[in-house]
Structure 1
Amino acid sequence: MKQTSVELRDVRKSYGSLQVVHGIDLAIDEGEFVVFVGPSGCGKSTLLRMIAGLEDVTSGEIVIKGRDVTDLDPSERGIAMVFQSYALYPHMSVRDNLGFGLKMANTDAAEIARRVGHASGVLKIDHLLDRRPGQLSGGQRQRVAIGRAIVREPDVFLFDEPLSNLDAELRVSMRIEIAKLHRKLANTMIYVTHDQTEAMTLADKIVVLRDGRIEQTGTPREVYENPANVFVAGFIGSPRMNLLNAVWRGDGQLTVGGQNLPAEGFGGQQPDIGDKLIFGIRPEHFQVTEGSGAIRATVEFTEYLGGLRYVYCTLADGQSLVVEQRDGPDIEEGQEIALSAPSDKCRYFDEAGIRMR
């Protein structure tokens, strides 16, 4: 059984009468890479800052490695944080930037040298130790910022959107470097981002947040393939899951866009005839077909991206959907196509947007 590294117990945060975090309960296992993801203003950075001790907790408890740290200073929590801005001292060398926090804590010079040497070796920045931040690229500066966290030898690493200041190509390479770093150090890491691609590629466990509440917690595969509600279905994935208004006709038939589509897989939550539902399917699971059980859609435009094509369509009632194609003949704008959906890839939500199981 895995040991719990970080535990949040009914954590709440209010600014005056405005409550922004609503009773968060969460357990993070030792060595786990957990990503908080959600739209701007969902509370993910506030939650991270409360774990770090940079924001006070209005109520609830934060436990790290079995210790209640709710009222402890950041320096006493066994954490190290990497911020969105590099926050490096421009007049200091990389070596001095890495060791500055330890020096302020009166750490022995030999121990500082050992930790700086270890961190620079892990991050492959040994050759940069005598340079100043102004002589570094954006990716190199971010490595130094991460190295400054590593030298603290924390129990938990906290990352607050660390890649948002980098260009697209560099973000991809640094994302890979952070994943490698986690495998090498095996520390618990909590990472905040609004970028669901970062969440999907980095996380052992994703925590999807909205309006200060957890909407779903699970592995990247779980939240992608089995979203708990339409918010998660629409937020995770690019393009998002197709979510279409539908009506249950009974006898295994669903009316979507004025057309009937076979439907199964409701589990124990069988709808009543006439119930309004939301039919969900990922763009890559729609199949262009001429067979039975298909719904017809009109192509509005296509995006050709080399290895794949996105086809944007509308149904007769004006609802929009996206189809992903990786092969097959060209599809022209204005063309009518027939689409089928494998039953095991279809997801159904009730009128309130909650997954039917």
Structure 2
Amino acid sequence: MSDNGVQLIEVRKSYGSMEVIHGVNLSIPDGAFVVFVGPSGCGKSTLLRMIAGLEEVTDGEIAIKGRDVTDVDPSQRGIAMVFQSYALYPHMTVRDNLAFGLKMQRTDKAVIDERVAAAAAILKIEQLLDRRPGQLSGGQRQRVAIGRAIVRQPEVFLFDEPLSNLDAELRVSMRVEIARLHRELGNTMIYVTHDQTEAMTLADVIVVLRDGRVEQAGPPRTVYEDPDNAFVAGFIGSPRMNLLDAVWRGNGKVEIAGQVEAAPISGAGLVPGDKVTFGLRPEHLIVGATDGIMARVDVLEYLGGTRYLYCQLTDGQPLIVEYRDGPDVRSGDTITLGCPENRRYIFNESGARIR
């Protein structure tokens, strides 16, 4: 067992006869920023709470810095957790909220003052120390909640959807703050979100979960450009990858909406006539290609530097195109779409990637 980071070994969680986490194995390097991402109900928060010790592990082992903490009390695990709700004491000042946990541990007052001052400086909340939570904005309250974790000097920070209560603009600025915080502190951070944009912008490693299982784990660029299955391909990316029904015709060809297109795969395990899924990311589609897939533009979404074309193929399948430069396109137009062969993805009927 490694003496660095966090390790999950065949971790399972059941409620009665219903298993919700299915034998998860993960090795999180020391100092990494890891994001658990997935749809609601995929088990990401349950997994985080098991690492924190707030949920009992049904089977398997959790280790932090090489120490088995599976049955260790949360206060003895060397972790600090930041929740979706700020959970601040409304009658206390910011200073007292930051210091409260250390006071409960009977930490020396000089040490408490030093740590509170250091956390306030890192988060730029020195001017707020004498205010109460009711006098703060949502972003300021979240900074205080993070500061309360910092003063504990944990080995691992755990974040459970900490930005979900903030408005869109504040979420973006707080993402930047959390990324800066990780760079300055260098601690291991495990962050739960359902927002794949947060995952892509914050993570060193993304862990994509579905139904209590890890679908894929790796650096954001790898997960985005080289997805292992159709679920990951469709979940990571905004807008999502176009996943189109197609038929394998053999000899490196697929048929989609009555047209035959090249597929950059050997087709191992496929026989002509097999149903497959043809994956195309919106930003890889080229409008006006001399040869390609025919589509009708239904709706055009103008976002300044980028336009999104919401289209239908001749068989009615929907398809989204990111369109930046070129002649004006209008609703009702028929366009021809090309795509570089190395940007075409093929998945078999069960959703597994065919490479």
Aligned to 1:181: 181
Q: Give the structure 2 partner of residue 283 of structure 1.
A: 282
Alpha-carbon distance in structure 1 between the residues aligned to 2:252 and 2:132: 67
- Return the offset for 1:263: 2.0
Instruction: Give the deviation of 1:268 after TM superposition.
Output: 7.1
* Aligned residue runs from structure 1 range 1-357, under 5 A: 4-264=4-264, 266-267=265-266, 269=268, 271-292=270-291, 294-357=292-355
Q: Which runs of 5+ in 1 are unaligned?
A: none
Tell me, yes or no, if the aligned pair for 1:279 and 1:348 is still in contact at 8 Å: yes
Contact 2:3–2:66, Cα closer than 8 Å, also in 1: no
Aligned-partner residue type, residue 136 of structure 1: L
Q: Which amino acid aligns with 2:263?
A: A
What SS does structure 2 have at the residue aligned with 1:245?
A: strand
Aligned residue for 2:10, secondary structure, equals strand
**Alignment identity in percent?**
69
Counterpart-to-counterpart distance in 2, 1:39 and 1:242: 18
Structure 1 residue 17 displacement after superposition: 1.0
What letter is aligned with 2:300?
A: T
Distance 1:93 1:144 in 2: 10
- Aligned counterparts of 1:262 and 1:20: Cα–Cα separation in 2: 40
1:48-99: CA deviation from partner (whole Å, max 9, x where unpaired): 0000000100011000001000001000000000000001011111100000
Report the Cα distance in structure 2 between the residues aligned to 1:127 and 1:345, rounded to whole angstroms: 51
CA contact (8 A) 2:252 2:267 kept: no
What is the aligned-residue RMSD (CA, Å)? Answer: 1.2
Cα distance between partner residues in 1 of 2:263 and 2:157: 45
1:117-160 Cα offsets, whole Å, 9 max, x none, are 11011111111111111111111100000000000000000000
- Residue deviations 1:323-357 (CA, integer Å, cap 9, x gap): 00011111111111101110011111111110012
The alpha carbon displacement at 1:188 in A equals 0.1
Instruction: Specify every segment of 5 or more residues in structure 2 that has no aligned partner in the other structure, as ranges.
Output: none
Runs of 4+ with deviation above 4 angstroms: none
Equivalent residues of 2:252, 2:266 under 8 A apart: no
Bigger mean CA offset, 174-183 vs 298-307: 298-307
SS of the residue 2:56 aligns to:
coil
